[in-house]
Amino acid sequence: MKISELGEFKFIDRISGMFQDLLLPGYTGIGDDCAIVPYSSEEDYVVTTDMLIEDIHFIKNRIPPEQLGYKSLAVNLSDIAAMGGRPVGSYLSIGIPAETEVEYLDAVMKGYHDLSQKYQVQLLGGDTTKSEKHLVINIAVIGTCKKGHARLRSMAWSNDMVCVTGYLGDSAGGLEVMLHQLPETKDHMQLIRSHHLPEPHINEGIWLAQHPEVHAMMDVSDGISSDLVHILKASKKSAVLDLDMLPVSDTLKNVATKHGWNVDKLASSGGEDYVLLFTLKAGNFEKTNKGFRATFGRDLFPVGEINDEAGAEINWIKNGQQIFSNQHGFDHFRT
pLDDT (average), residues 129-153 = 96
Q: What is the pTM for the complete model shown?
A: 0.94
Q: What is 141-198 written as a DSSP string?
A: EEEEEETTTPPPGGG--TTPEEEESS-SSHHHHHHHHHHTT----HHHHHHHHHHHS-
Rounded to an integer, the average pLDDT of 34-48 is 96
Residues 117 and 97 both lie in one domain: yes
pLDDT at 155: 97
Residue 273 has pLDDT above 60, yes or no: yes
The answer to whether position 68 is within a domain reads yes
Q: Same domain for 159 and 85?
A: no
Share of the chain above pLDDT 70, in %: 97
∠ Cα 330 332 335 (to 5°): 65
Residue 334: predicted pLDDT: 54
Please check whether residues 276 and 135 belong to one and the same domain: no
**Position 274 in a domain:** yes
With residue 133 as reference, give the H or E element that holds it. Answer: none
Average pLDDT estimate for 247-272: 96
My answer on whether 247 and 263 are in the same domain is yes
Does residue 4 lie in a domain region? Answer: no
Quote the CA–CA distance of 167 and 142 in Å, as a whole number: 27
* pLDDT tens-digit series, residues 153-198: 999 999 999 999 999 999 999 999 999 999 999 999 999 999 999 9
247 φ/ψ sector (left φ>0, alpha ψ -120 to 50, else beta): beta
Q: How confident is the model at residue 12 (pLDDT cuts 50, 70, 90)?
A: confident
Q: Is the pLDDT of residue 97 over 70?
A: yes
Which one has a higher pLDDT value, 45 or 309? 45
Say which CATH number the domain at 121 has: 3.30.1330.10
Give phi and psi for 65, each to the nearest 5.
-60, -35
Q: Kindly state whether residues 196 and 106 are assigned to the same domain.
A: no
Indicate whether 131 and 177 sit together in one domain. Answer: no
Considering the domain boundaries, does residue 172 fall inside one? yes
> Are residues 80 and 167 located together in one domain of the fold?
no
Identify which has the larger pLDDT, 309 or 72.
72
d(CA 137, CA 69): 9
DSSP state of 282: T
- Residue ending a domain, among 98, 115, 146, is 146
Statement: residue 327 has pLDDT above 70: no
Domain boundary among 86, 120, 146: 146
Q: Does 164 share its domain with 142?
A: no
Average pLDDT value for residue range 129-155? 97
In this structure, is residue 174 part of a structural domain?
Answer: yes
Average pLDDT of the segment spanning 78-104: 98
Are 129 and 163 in the same domain? no
User: For residue 98, what pLDDT is reported?
Assistant: 97
pLDDT value, residue 13: 84
CATH of the domain at 167: 3.90.650.10
Domain boundary among 146, 170, 197: 146
Return d(Cα 274, Cα 266) in angstroms, integer. 14
Helix axes 170-179, 250-259, angle to 10 degrees: 40
Domain identity same for 242 and 298: yes
Confidence of residue 329 (pLDDT cuts 50, 70, 90): very low
In a domain, 22, yes or no: no
- Ramachandran angles phi, psi of 93, nearest 5°: -120, 135
Q: Considering just the CA atoms, what is the radius of gyration of the chain in Å? A: 20
Are both 100 and 160 inside the same structural domain? Answer: no
Q: Give the structural domain span for 245.
A: 153-326
Average pLDDT over residues 1-7: 89
Q: What is the DSSP string of 238-278?
A: EEEEEGGGS---HHHHHHHHHHT--HHHHHHH------EEE
Specify whether the CB–CB gap between 303 and 163 falls below 8 A.
Answer: yes
Question: pLDDT for 98-116, tens place per residue?
Answer: 999 999 999 999 999 999 9
Number of domains present in the structure of the chain: 2
DSSP code at position 28:
B
Answer yes or no: is 108 within a domain: yes
Average pLDDT, the chain: 94
Q: Are residues 95 and 230 in the same domain?
A: no
Is pLDDT of 328 > 60? no
Residue 9 counted as domain residue: no
